[in-house]
Amino acid sequence: MSESSNYLLQANALSCIRDDRVLFEGLSFEVNAGQVLLLEGKNGSGKTSLLRILCGFREPDAGELSWCGDALSDSSYFADLAYVGHLEGVKKELTVYENLKVSLALGQAGLYSIMDALDKVNLTDYDEVLVQSLSAGQKRRLSLARLLITKNILWILDEPFTSLDRQGIELIETLMSEHCAMGGMIVLTSHHDLSIQGVDVQRILLS
């Protein structure tokens, strides 16, 4: 990611309306390379809706997004982002290795090989295990391993610490810190109090 220092995500006056209720309006922010943007707020405040807008799953009701100064449709934005939702998004009938092989086939190869990524998330020797046999925490770590095997500047994460124990949380925080240190950026929701050393963490409270 050595050329990612000029990457910039900008939101200008975003609004989101759901079921005739305004979740947020006039929301503006910037996320630069090396930064984390933490979205906070009670359930129903629009955090996941904002992530869906950032991923292109729905359009904002007002406002616009830009990537490196260009409209999303005119940029490499969707190729540059990776999304992990609050569900694991893995195939139970496939092995751990096969799941990551599918993810790699859909993206551009990243810094880590599949086996190196499994080592990073403490799933070494689980490569031939069916996902349906994994614990909830192991499934979550597998879903996050997908971020390591593909090349993406922007990580968009919806409650990434779900089902993780203290050790798992510390592991993911370390991976997030490494990603930002290499010029990556992260937008996430979390009820967990982040502890990411040496990273500029911005916060937006949605109410």
Task: Please write the tens of the pLDDT for every residue from 54-82.
Answer: 999 999 999 999 999 999 989 999 999 99
> In degrees rounded to 5, what are phi and psi of residue 58?
-150, 160
Structural contact between residues 53 and 39, judged by C-beta atoms closer than 8 angstroms: no
CATH architecture of 4-205: 3-Layer(aba) Sandwich (3.40)
Distances from the Cα of 96 to the Cα of 60, 88, 102, 104, 122, angstroms: 36, 12, 10, 13, 12
pLDDT of residue 153: 95
Task: Tell if the pTM clears 0.85, that is, is over it.
Answer: yes
Residue 145 backbone phi and psi in degrees, to 5: -65, -25
By CB neighbour count within 10 A (0-12 exposed, 13-18 middle, 19+ buried), where does 84 fall?
Answer: buried
Query: Picking from 13-27, 47-61, 81-95, which range would have the lowest pLDDT averaged per residue?
Result: 81-95
Q: Is 19 left (phi over 0), alpha (psi -120 to 50) or beta?
A: left
Q: In Å, how far are 9, 36, 117, 148 from 108, measured between CA atoms?
A: 21, 23, 15, 11
